[in-house]
Amino acid sequence: MINVTKIFLPPIEKYHKQLQRAWDNQWLTNRGELVLELEEKLKKYLEVSNIIVTSNGTVPLQIALKLLGKQGEIITTPFSYVATTAAIVWENCTPVFVDIHPEHLTIDETKIEEAITVKTTAILATHVFGNPCNVEVIQKIAEKYNLKIIYDAAHAFGVTYNGKSIFDFGDINTCSFHATKLFHTGEGGAMFAKDPDLQHQLFYSHNFGHKTALAFYGLGINGKMTELQAAMGLSVLPYIEEIFSERKKVVDYYNSNLNLSKLQVIKIRENTDWNFSYYPIIFETEEGLLKVEKILNDNQIFPRRYFYPSLNTIEYTKGEIMPISERIASRIICLPLYVGLSISELQEIVSLINANL
């Protein structure tokens, strides 16, 4: 069976070695030695000034919206994982959808201004499949209208744009370290802010608001990563370049062998050092997608329809029609992409797709 992804697991003895440290310390949570070490190593690897690792990738979105959303209208994309929109609604804000670019698949920055009202407080945009938004234009719009920018960078670990970490743009960035991501801690995530005051707010917000054991800076929740999660991250990180390299080989194979005259692939923004996080293909029709999906499934190959449905169509958003997002969402599917995917498996996937376009 070939699934859309497969968890990268480091040699178990490497994980055991990290776990032993937690056992020796008798410290499993509340920012122990392993969490602190992971943060320092990630700061160095990603070349960022600040990072707070968290229990999952959704908590950072919720905290960011609590701090910057202020229960206002949040301009966002309809083409993302449901967590992006769910976090907005969960924090008593109102999602205002803006359609997407038909090639980059990120929010269409040319349509943002017309969606701004007096109730708008922030822009929450997703770097879809690790492909950067047009961060320069979004920054100018935010400055013009005094808005905050939150980037859902769940897919964007290791991505750089114009030579800078993708986490350096906007006010707050969030990332997912879920088991299916190319860097993972089993379950986990991170949040980033360059402004020291905002970083301070993020920090105490993920730790119940604590100033000391008996005093508080303000409101907070529990978003802390455990030592067990950090142990996994410390075990995976040494393999990250191998992970990128192996995933690139799969992407290169698809690019060279799929019949791209009948399929659309994502257009990676110029000046981006991409991370090969997903391989989406867009069919000419939904019927064509469903036909190929069934044939692949019948052969024990299981791609996945990221991101379907378009988020403006789900019950609790009641968004306006987003024609491009809705069309793309109905025709896009992500092919298997992970370390260890063999040439023979890739040949089977590609031949079945090409023969049924």
Residue pLDDT, tens place only, 236-286: 999 999 999 999 999 999 999 999 999 999 999 999 999 999 999 999 999
Q: Are 336 and 5 in contact (CB under 8 A)?
A: yes
Q: Rounded to whole angstroms, how far apart are CA atoms 123 and 68?
A: 10
The count of C-alpha atoms lying within 13 angstroms of the C-alpha of 248, restricted to the half-sphere facing its C-beta, is: 9
Residue pLDDT, tens place only, 148-191: 999 999 999 999 999 999 999 999 999 999 999 999 999 999 99
Q: What percent of the chain has pLDDT over 90?
A: 99
Local confidence band at 295 (pLDDT 50, 70, 90 cut-offs)? very high
Q: Are 161 and 114 in contact (CB under 8 A)?
A: no
Q: Rounded to whole angstroms, how far apart are CA atoms 156 and 167?
A: 8
Residue type, 66: K
On the question of pLDDT at 318 being above 90, the answer is no
Q: In this structure, what token pair is assigned to residue 106? A: 């990120």
Q: Rounded to whole angstroms, how far apart are CA atoms 172 and 271?
A: 22
DSSP string, 78-140: SSS-HHHHHHHHHTT-EEEE--B-TTT-SB-GGGSGGG--TTEEEEEEE-GGGPPP-HHHHHH
Q: Rounded to whole angstroms, how far apart are CA atoms 324 and 108?
A: 10
Please tell me whether residue 161 adopts helix, strand or coil conformation: strand
On the question of pLDDT at 39 being above 90, the answer is yes
Q: Rounded to whole angstroms, how far apart are CA atoms 121 and 91?
A: 13
Q: Summarize the confidence of residues 12-29 as an average pLDDT.
A: 97
Average pLDDT, the chain: 97
Domains, the chain, in order of start with CATH, read 3-238 (3.40.640.10), 239-354 (3.90.1150.10)
On the question of pLDDT at 319 being above 90, the answer is no
In the block, tokens 């980037």 appear at: 151
Residue pLDDT, tens place only, 75-117: 999 999 999 999 999 999 999 999 999 999 999 999 999 999 9
